[in-house]
C-alpha cells in the first residue's frame, strides 16, 4: 500500500504547488480545503492525476454493473 502524503512546493515569488499522493478517488479532494487552511492560501487551479481517474473508472464500472443487475 502506497504512503499517503502531501508534497508542497513554496516558490520564492509566493506561489505554491501541492500534490496529494496515494489517496485514491474522490476522497483526495477533501485535502484541497485542508491545504488551503494549512497554507492560508486560495486555490487558483486544480487538476486530477491518473490515479484519480483509475479509481473513478472502477467506480463507474461498478455503477454500470449495478444498473444492469437492477434491469
Partner 1 sequence: MSVSLALIPIALTLRVVMGKKNFHNWAESMQLKVPTTFKNELELVRTVRKAGYDAEKWGGSFKTHLDGGQSYFFWEQIDGIWTAVFGKSDSQQEMESFMAEINRVAGREIFETGASLPPANMTVRQVEAAPTFPTNFRDGELLFRTLKEFGINPVRHGSGIVCKVEDSVLTFRQSGDGPFHVEIRNAPDLQKVFFYLSDVDDDYKRRLQSMVYEKLKARAAERNMTVESEEVLEDNSIVLTLNIRS
Shortest distance, CB of residue 61 to partner 1, whole angstroms? 18
String marking each residue 28-47 x if it binds partner 1 according to CB under 8 A: xx-xx-xxxxxxxxxxxxxx
58 binds partner 1 (CB under 8 A): no
Within 10 A of 41 (CB to CB), how many other CB atoms are there?
14
- One residue of 11, 68, 69, 70 binding partner 1 per CB under 8 A: 11
Classify 51 as helix, strand or coil: helix
Which phi and psi (to 5°) does residue 43 adopt?
A: -75, 130
Angle at 5 between CA 3 and CA 7, to 5 degrees: 140
- Residues found near partner 1 in the complex (CB under 8 A): 3-25, 28-29, 31-32, 34-52, 55
Amino acid at each position: 500500500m502506497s504512503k499517503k502524503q502531501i508534497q508542497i512546493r513554496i516558490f520564492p515569488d509566493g506561489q505554491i504547488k501541492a500534490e496529494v499522493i496515494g489517496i485514491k478517488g474522490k476522497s483526495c479532494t477533501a485535502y484541497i480545503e485542508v491545504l488551503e487552511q494549512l497554507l492560508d492560501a486560495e486555490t487558483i487551479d486544480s487538476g486530477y492525476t491518473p490515479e484519480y481517474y483509475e479509481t473513478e473508472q472502477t467506480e463507474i464500472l461498478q455503477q454500470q454493473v449495478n444498473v444492469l443487475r437492477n434491469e
